[in-house]
Amino acid sequence: MTATPPTRPRIPWMPALLALLLTGLLSACGKPPMLVQQYLPDYPAPAAASRTPVPEALKVEQFSVAQAFNTQNMVYQPRPYTAAVYHYSRWRANPGYLVTDYLLRDLREARRFSGVFGPNSSAKYRFRLEGGVEEFLELDEPDGWQAVLAITVTLLDVNQEQLPQRVVLQKSYRAAVPMPEKTPQGLARAMSGALEQVSGQVIGDLADAARRRVAGQEAGGGAAKFR
């Protein structure tokens, strides 16, 4: 007589569990992914200056950025000593690249120098601009929200051999522009205004400092340092 093999005991909840897992998998596959919105500053370039440009070329180096803002995330400070980011919303590029690119564009459009070159250019120049982004965030205050931009710049005269004589201008700039609404769009709009404001101040100061340095050399005077 042939022995009947033992039957494996059935687990009553197993079919239900498999069905639940399959349903969840199909649901996840059918759900559209969350799209990440990307933002850029947007403001008009400055008009060309009516004055004769400084008869020297300027090179703009890539700006550094403070580690707290060394990200494409849109950072905001909801309260003191805290930081947060907008989910599914980012800047199109790192703030160091954004500030460098827009300042380079504005300097070219303003035509305050005989030529303006970017970080990768091998063209000859006399003045070099270095800088860093210190703040690039939304600041939430009890009386409203602001987009805050702070940068430092250093203008160098590469014709000078000694570093102390090379420094033509070293200055910090900060702008805080009210946001129309507490949204990523509101932050991008206000940050555009802050960048436009700072860019205009930087361009004017660079041109004035460079013009004085050139005029001082032509007159036979010493190289001045402006802060």
pLDDT of 19 above 80: no
pLDDT of 99 above 90: yes
The rounded distance, in Å, linking the Cα atoms of 205 and 131 is: 14
pLDDT value for 136: 98
107 within 8 A of 60, measured Cβ to Cβ: yes
Q: What is the mean pLDDT of the chain?
A: 87
Structure tokens at 65: 């950025």
pLDDT of 90 above 80: yes
CA separation, residue 29 to residues 33, 40, 87, 122, 196 (Å): 9, 32, 22, 51, 44
* Coil, strand or helix at 65: strand
Type and span of the H or E element at 19: helix 14-30
pLDDT value for 34: 74
Give the model's confidence band at 93: pLDDT under 50 very low, under 70 low, under 90 confident, else very high.
very high
pLDDT value for 5: 55
Query: Of 92, 93, 199, which Cα lies nearest the Cα of 149?
Result: 199
pLDDT of 137 above 80: yes
pLDDT value for 7: 53
Query: Residue 76 forms beta bridges with which residues?
Result: 84, 138
pLDDT of 11 above 60: no
pLDDT tens, position by position, 154-192: 999 999 988 889 999 999 999 999 999 999 999 999 999
103 within 8 A of 60, measured Cβ to Cβ: yes
pLDDT of 4 above 80: no
What's the burial of 19, exposed, middle or buried (CB within 10 Å: 0-12/13-18/19+)?
A: exposed
pLDDT of 9 above 90: no
Which structural domains are found in the chain, ordered by start? 54-218 (3.40.50.10610)
pLDDT value for 227: 34
Give the model's confidence band at 25: pLDDT under 50 very low, under 70 low, under 90 confident, else very high.
very low
Percent of the chain with pLDDT over 90: 76
The rounded distance, in Å, linking the Cα atoms of 119 and 93 is: 16
pLDDT of 222 above 50: no
Structure tokens at 68: 């707290």
pLDDT value for 226: 35
Percent of the chain with pLDDT over 70: 81
215 within 8 A of 207, measured Cβ to Cβ: no
